[in-house]
Chains A and B, each alone.
Chain A
Amino acid sequence: MSKSVIEVPPKGGFSFDLCKRNELLAKKGVNPPSFRKTGTTIVGLIFQDGVILGADTRATEGPIVCDKNCEKIHYMAPNIYCCGAGTAADTEAVTDMVSSQLQLHRYHTGRESRVVTALTLLKRHLFNYQGYVSAALVLGGVDVTGPHLHTIYPHGSTDTLPFATMGSGSLAAMAVFESKYKEGLTRNEGIELVTEAICSGIFNDLGSGSNVDVCVITKGGKEYLRNHLQPNPRTYTSTKGYSFPKKTEVLLTKIIPLKEKVEIIEGGDAMEE
């Protein structure tokens, strides 16, 4: 009667004992918690005259920076802007969609859009998709009822706050806000604080970087300060420029403009529907 177990010498290193069980669990739908970096720092704060939103400008694809200067502050309405963190396609699509819905609503009601409208439209959509639309948003604007600032999470929950941060750099930015925010900030103080918070995200979080975008919304109107601060310029650029050695001799240069194939008649009949 031989023992079926072979004596194995003790060894360190990775133990593969649980792999089979993990696979079985995954088949049944019990997945290990996944780790997702959103690679952004977005912030918003309420100051005495309205709302200031801020964002960094780095878009990442895994470990690579795919866009050094993207725009994360999206237009929703003339008096409402929204910063987006998470999957770029999701934030773009959802803010575009709600922006169009708001415009139709404005035509329908004849009134300026309210921030709560945008909030409700966004959160209903995101909740409907149970968190699969990976958009974490900071929504801010000024309407007839006053200035408002909200955060919206991918699963559809919202918060109404005096100052908010989202994205992977949110802790670094929140550290700045928690230590320096006070009520009744002036416009310049507010912009400085927002810039400081975004810079804290840019320099302390690997998922955020490049430049700082700021958007100031007040009752009078909005001011979109694209690349308000550029703390990461290219440090070494050759002053001489590039010169390529001449290879093939140019014998003849002849330029022929392309002829128009179709004549365009201005002021023709409108399309019949």
Chain B
Amino acid sequence: MASKQPENSLLGPEADSQRTLYPNVTGTSVVALKYKDGILMAADMGGSYGSTLRYKNVERMKAIGKHSLLGASGEISDFQEILRYLDDLILYDNMWDDGNSLGPKEVHNYLTRLMYNRRNKFNPLWNSLVLGGIKNGEKYLGTVSMIGVNFEDDHVATGFGNHLARPILRQEWHENLSFEDGVRLLEKCMRVLLYRDRSAINKLQIAKITEEGMTISQPYSLKTYWEFSAFENPTQGAVGSW
């Protein structure tokens, strides 16, 4: 009696447990921009389990090698898997010991291939990645989505940031932003996201990568303003409505 299905089949109920159908623990938007000395990236530290805010200390930005910075939104476990792949990549590169190191362009290309090939097997890594870095004075900022869409730009955002942060960045970004201006612009975007994205939390980190290396700030929170007089008594003059 031959078996009903060959082993590596994508059909049948067993196959569903072998591929990603939906994300479980997710991170929300990542926003990044190029500034005078390199790249600035911001992400909050929340990991949501469906509609519950389960983890509040998730670092969603990590340094890759000497020249790159990776930020991810989407499934946290897939992000950790990607970090493992990149660890192997960087280690293998270091073992050559030839004075050359993988730059952001190369890492971005590797990630694009990784995401696209997984998508073709109907088993995606459920992330939207932001890859930024600077090597030999050349700044680079790119993004890869879970289906393999990749491009590079002067400012990028994932998830809700696409709808809320990108309009602001398109209007207010310019070449050679100073560090303070860049941070102020990122904070402006993160504040709007905090107000209007339900999975955002008020605990964020800002990471900076320059020729000297990568630094990531301590977690901090943004000031929010709730004292509009219209909020205090919203139905004044419209009694009975809400």
Contact = CB atoms under 8 A, between A and B. Distances in A.
B196 interface: yes
A160 to B, nearest CB: 4
Given A172-B163, A178-B191, A10 B237 contact: no
Interface string A155-181: 000111110000000011011101100
Contacts of B195: 178
A160 B164 contact: no
Given A7-B6, A8-B11, A204-B170, A160 B241 contact: yes
A91 interface: no
Interface in B9-43: 9-11
Given A12-B10, A171-B196, A160 B234 contact: yes
Given A46-B230, A150-B238, A174 B10 contact: no
Contacts of B203: none
Contact of A160 (B6, B11, B230): B230
Contacts of A148: 237-238
- Majority secondary structure of chain A interface residues (helix, strand, loop or mixed): mixed
A12 B9 contact: no
Contacts of B164: 171-172, 174-175
Interface stretch (A32-40, A97-105, A112-120): A112-120
A145 B235 CA distance: 11
Contacts of A171: 160, 163-164, 196
A161 B189 CA distance: 22
B122 interface: yes
Nearest to A147: B237
Contacts of A119: 238, 241
Given A158-B242, A200-B167, A179 B2 contact: no
B170 A203 contact: yes
A175 B160 CA distance: 11
Given A12-B10, A200-B171, A203-B170, A179 B242 contact: no
A115 B236 CA distance: 12
Interface in B150-182: 160, 163-168, 170-171
Given A3-B2, A7-B5, A46-B230, 6 more contacts: A15-B10, A119-B238, A120-B241, A171-B164, A175-B192, A179-B191
15 contacts: A9-B6, A17-B11, A116-B240, A145-B237, A158-B241, A159-B242, A162-B230, A162-B231, A172-B163, A178-B195, A178-B196, A179-B168, A179-B191, A200-B167, A203-B170
